[in-house]
Amino acid sequence: MAEPIRVVVTGAAGQIAYSLLYMIARGEVFGKEQSLILHLLDIPPMAGVLEGVVMELADCALPLLRKVVPTTDPLEGFKDVSAAFLVGAMPRKEGMERKDLLSANVKIFKVQGEALDKVAKKDVKVLVVGNPANTNALVCANYAPSIPRENFSAMTRLDQNRAAAQIASKFGAPISNVSNLIIWGNHSSTQYPDASHGKILIDNEWKNIVDAVGDNSYLEGPFVETVQKRGAAVISARKMSSAMSAAKAACDHMHDWWHGTAPGQFVSMGVFSDGSYGSPKDEEFIYEAKSKNILGNSVEKFSSVKLDLTGKELQEENKEAMSVLDSN
């Protein structure tokens, strides 16, 4: 069994963390041979709830879990961590716009960036889940200059999983038969779920999804819209933001980042843009480093219009975040 690594989950008393902590502690992210010290960070009013989460983790009797460190101090929470799941932030409720979250949440990511910079391992992998995820990741990285920018990513894996689920259900196929769907841009309703490089296993043969569907109007219409609006649909039905599926996606994201993907397979995460595909440079844009090599540097016209739209939204969010932080 490998020496324990320290992993922090922020927002540890919240809904996503309630599913996420169990999955991490069972070994679904870092492997069944990797023991763990879990740091649980939340804010002081949630200290009591955090105690309950600690009790439950103990009662799960999980062999990989060596120690749990509940805390409300970011400097203790981020101390020596190798991986950070930044979940702690306000979720959108019914009737709220995503932009309402920005002013409240970006300040959290400034403080956490500063704390990561001071006390985390320099090769820490930081996954930002809290919304607006792309902009929060940008802010967090900006305030942690001693950690390489490539070590910060924002979660769009939930959108990728949603897209895969739509395609699998269209064919009545298991989800494992669908791969290489791409999510471009912001984790918002301007995101662009792109099936044009996707593959589906039919009759023991991997086929291009566009050919297999044979209906561009579906892939450019209802498919895109369903994925774009899925988060809002869940809020409308549950009266709360997605949590179980978000926790699963956070595990998938960190798992693939930590271990790498299988040859020929690519996944989506928000990373800093180098200006490829006409995306705005230095924004937290979406594409996975490996997919860039596979895809080359250009995209077709339909994609390019969609990329433009979501790129502009990211630039606006970025400006708004900076003005919130400047005014504090």
Ligand X SMILES: O=C(O)CC[C@H](O)C(=O)O
Which residues are identified as catalytic? 187
Asked if 131 interacts with ligand X (CB under 6 A), we say yes
Q: Is 151 exposed, middle or buried (0-12, 13-18, 19+ CB in 10 A)?
A: buried
Asked if 13 interacts with ligand NAD (CB under 6 A), we say yes
The residue (of 11 and 311) whose beta carbon lies closer to ligand NAD is 11
Asked if 10 interacts with ligand NAD (CB under 6 A), we say yes
The residue (of 7 and 158) whose beta carbon lies closer to ligand X is 158
The residue (of 133 and 299) whose beta carbon lies closer to ligand X is 133
Q: Give the one residue of 42, 252, 284, 317 binding ligand NAD; rule: CB under 6 A.
A: 42
Asked if 158 interacts with ligand X (CB under 6 A), we say yes
Q: In what order do the strands lie in the sheet with 34-41?
A: 65-71, 34-41, 2-10, 83-86, 125-128, 152-154, 270-272, 284-286
The two tokens of residue 150 are 């490539």
Q: 234 is in the binding site of which of ligand NAD, ligand X, none (Cβ under 5 to 8 A by kind)?
A: ligand X
Phi, psi of 204 (to 5 degrees): 65, 20
Asked if residue 92 belongs to a known ligand binding site, the reply is yes
Asked if residue 29 belongs to a known ligand binding site, the reply is no
Alpha-carbon gap, residue 210 to 126, rounded angstroms: 34
The residue (of 190 and 196) whose beta carbon lies closer to ligand X is 190
Asked if residue 105 belongs to a known ligand binding site, the reply is yes
- Binding residues vs ligand X (CB under 6 A): 92, 98, 131, 158, 231-232, 234, 241-242
Task: Tell me which residues touch ligand NAD (CB under 6 A).
Answer: 10-11, 13-16, 41-43, 46, 87-92, 108, 129-131, 133, 155, 158, 187, 241-243, 246
